[in-house]
Amino acid sequence: MPTREERIRERLFPKVATYDRKGGGFAALPLILRRAQFLFEPRRWQVYTYIIMRAGPAGVAWFPLSEMAWDLGFASTSKLKPYVDALVADRWIERSSTQGRDYYIARNPVVVLTKFRKRNALTEDRVEAIDELLEALSLPTIGDVEPSSPAIATGRPEKAALPVSSRKRGRGKSKETDDGP
């Protein structure tokens, strides 16, 4: 028996060719990101999803920045690098270097959103919407986390300064840890 989605597809889109979701060749995004897209500028979202799409089964991605710049239509890696650095600074991704190569892994977005909640960077209506979806997915919610400051949430993360390593043209990169916000 076809699922509801399969029946709708057959009825509304009977001749539309799409990609195979079972045989590989596509990368799924965590569903909770649907409620977090407002936290990203469009180019930052593009860079973030690119890194996720390049990750293998263990979640690790590696590629030259010049390749990502070309794939995403950046004029140069110097135009791209601040977006990558901002994703690292906001803790959406981790970056580590070894043997002259950069490696990336996307953090669990629920953990990142919980940290945004602790920093009071999400409005209550955004927290409720995120929690509603997390509950539907049978995942722990972020609403029970108390913000760390009484400031009024803006609904946007604070502007992250570029990490020191990016200001030194990529020298002295340090491995990120789970300790900070």
* Residue ranges of the chain with per-residue pLDDT less than 50: 149-181
pLDDT of residue 57: 83
CA 51 to chain centre: 9
pLDDT of residue 5: 83
pLDDT of residue 62: 93
pLDDT of residue 83: 98
Say how far apart CA 44 and CA 74 lie, in whole Å. Answer: 12
pLDDT of residue 148: 64
pLDDT of residue 176: 43
Question: What is the maximum span of the chain, computed from C-alpha positions, in angstroms?
Answer: 59
pLDDT of residue 175: 44
Pick the CATH number of 29-159 from 1.10.1740.10, 3.30.365.10, 1.10.940.10, 1.10.10.10: 1.10.10.10
Interhelix angle 77-89/65-72, rounded to 10 degrees, is 100
- Helix, strand, or coil (residue 95): strand
Mean pLDDT in the chain?
82
Say how far apart CA 46 and CA 21 lie, in whole Å. Answer: 21
21-40 pLDDT per residue, tens: 676 677 788 999 999 999 99
106-136 pLDDT per residue, tens: 999 999 999 999 999 999 999 999 999 999 9
Query: Whole-model pTM?
Result: 0.74
Ramachandran category for residue 99: left, alpha or beta (phi over 0 → left; psi -120 to 50 → alpha): left
